[in-house]
């Protein structure tokens, strides 16, 4: 993988960090701001976000490579529990007008449904409590701009972030730029494939999928194949999987079947494939007081919910190469005692890929109402 090869030779690069305490990454200027304990004693560890505000998290001029992003924020306020869907992350490379990365914050870090949970993979890690980490390398030639937009109805007091990057000369003119794009269909039209991403133009590599699927029908939900239409493919794809659980590295509906017990699905996280989340309980209606469940919640509608499933697959050892075009679809198919059947589930995804210029322009994010996991 070359994961450790980079530190066997010195590359004459400069290590930099951007945070709320050093918003420019300027050398020798971190941890300067005064706090309650005096000068240079953790004076500005976070930022606040007003409703509708877009904050610039990083504005880097020159060439370099982002190597690690860490963020954390509350997942709920007095206005509701969809903060991770209401905050929108955008990244722009080299002065482009439309972002190469545009996705709800939680989904980018494989936390779907506006819900936080642990993820333990190679490029994306979510640690306790909601410590969201991304290790995808993100090179740029002239400029990198990272923003966060608060579309939550109320003020968010604390948003923490760190961007670790290197100032370095990029000798390869044919670098690939990192991209990520969120999509949702609620529900998927029966008999039609769900499209994760379409109209990618140019050459590059598809490197990952995150899927948040809410099952709107009964029985097994993961019979469909993931299909990659590469370059000149039209009616049929070149690369496909044998089923959803197979694409995400599992088999036989992820079931564990112990003697004398009904089968149940197992969750797992590995370097490149995982099924970190499943739930039939929805806690978004709960109100909290002083960090604890309110004994007299305003909305006491119960916590029963339709089954929700969060899955990821990283194509880092086996990237999907494309030379001119790429489209990625998923068949929303199920299975019961009778056989296969078409489903109409609520599916959200993030597609991750690298590509050369020209940058593909996509339509903007759906509005907040169409993003809410309900």
pLDDT of residue 366 exceeding 60, the answer is yes
CB 127 within 8 A of CB 135: no
CB 248 within 8 A of CB 273: yes
> Of 103, 126, 102, 104, which Cα lies nearest the Cα of 116?
126
* DSSP β-bridge partners for residue 351: 181, 209
CATH number, domain containing residue 105: 2.60.120.1390
Domain of residue 17 covers 5-371
Reported as a single tens digit per residue, the pLDDT across 130-156 is 999 999 999 999 999 999 999 999 999
Global confidence as pTM? 0.95
Share of the chain above pLDDT 70, in %: 94
Phi-psi region of 254 (alpha: psi -120 to 50; beta: other; left: phi over 0): left
**CA–CA gap between residue 229 and residue 191 (Å, rounded):** 18
**CA–CA gap between residue 303 and residue 14 (Å, rounded):** 50
Whole-number mean pLDDT of the chain?
A: 92
Phi-psi region of 266 (alpha: psi -120 to 50; beta: other; left: phi over 0): beta
- Structure tokens given for 32: 């300067």
Cα-flanking dihedrals φ and ψ of residue 83, to 5°? -60, -40
Q: Which residue has the tokens 């590295």?
A: 249
What's the pLDDT band for 300 if we cut at 50, 70, 90?
low
CB 330 within 8 A of CB 226: yes
* Domain count across the chain: 1
Share of the chain above pLDDT 90, in %: 76
pLDDT of the residue at 1 = 52
pLDDT of residue 94 exceeding 70, the answer is yes
Asked, as a colleague might, if the bond just before 332 is cis with ω within 30 of 0, I would say no
- Structure tokens given for 152: 């939550």
> Helix (H, G, I), strand (E, B), or coil: what is residue 45?
coil
Reported as a single tens digit per residue, the pLDDT across 119-134 is 999 999 999 999 999 9
Reported as a single tens digit per residue, the pLDDT across 305-355 is 899 999 999 999 999 999 999 999 999 999 998 999 999 999 999 999 999
């Amino acid at each position: 993988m070359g994961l450790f090869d980079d530190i066997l030779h010195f590359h004459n690069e400069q290590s930099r960090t951007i945070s709320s305490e050093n918003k420019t990454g300027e050398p020798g200027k971190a941890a300067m701001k005064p706090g309650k304990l005096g000068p240079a004693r953790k004076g500005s560890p976070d930022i606040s976000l007003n409703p509708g505000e877009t904050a610039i998290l990083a504005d880097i001029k020159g060439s370099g490579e982002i190597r690690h992003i860490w963020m954390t924020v509350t997942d709920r306020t007095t206005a509701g529990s969809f903060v991770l869907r209401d905050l929108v992350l955008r990244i722009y490379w080299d002065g482009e007008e439309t972002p190469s990365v545009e996705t709800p914050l939680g989904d980018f870090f494989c936390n779907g449904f506006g819900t936080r949970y642990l993820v333990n993979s190679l490029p994306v890690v979510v640690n306790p409590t909601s410590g969201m980490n991304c290790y995808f390398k993100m090179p740029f030639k002239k400029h990198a701009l990272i923003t966060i937009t608060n579309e939550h109805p109320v003020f968010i007091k604390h948003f923490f972030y760190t961007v670790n990057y290197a100032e370095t000369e990029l000798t390869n003119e044919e670098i690939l730029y990192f991209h990520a794009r969120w999509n949702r269909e609620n529900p998927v039209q029966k008999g039609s494939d769900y499209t994760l991403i379409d109209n990618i133009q140019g050459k590059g590599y598809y490197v990952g999928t995150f899927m948040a699927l809410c099952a709107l029908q009964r029985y097994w939900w993961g019979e469909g194949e993931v299909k990659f239409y590469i370059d000149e493919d039209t009616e049929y794809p070149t690369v496909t999987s044998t089923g959803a659980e197979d694409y995400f590295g599992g088999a036989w509906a992820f079931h564990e079947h112990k003697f004398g017990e009904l089968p149940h699905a197992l969750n797992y996280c590995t370097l490149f494939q995982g099924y970190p989340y499943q739930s039939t309980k929805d806690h978004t209606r709960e109100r909290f007081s002083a960090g604890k469940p309110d004994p007299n919640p305003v909305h006491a509608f119960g916590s029963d919910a339709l089954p929700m499933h969060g899955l990821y697959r990283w194509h880092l050892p086996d990237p999907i190469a494309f030379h001119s075009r790429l489209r990625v679809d998923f068949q929303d198919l199920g299975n019961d005692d009778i056989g296969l059947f078409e489903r109409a589930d609520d599916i959200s995804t993030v597609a991750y890929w690298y590509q050369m210029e020209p940058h593909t322009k996509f339509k903007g994010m759906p509005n907040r109402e169409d993003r809410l996991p309900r």
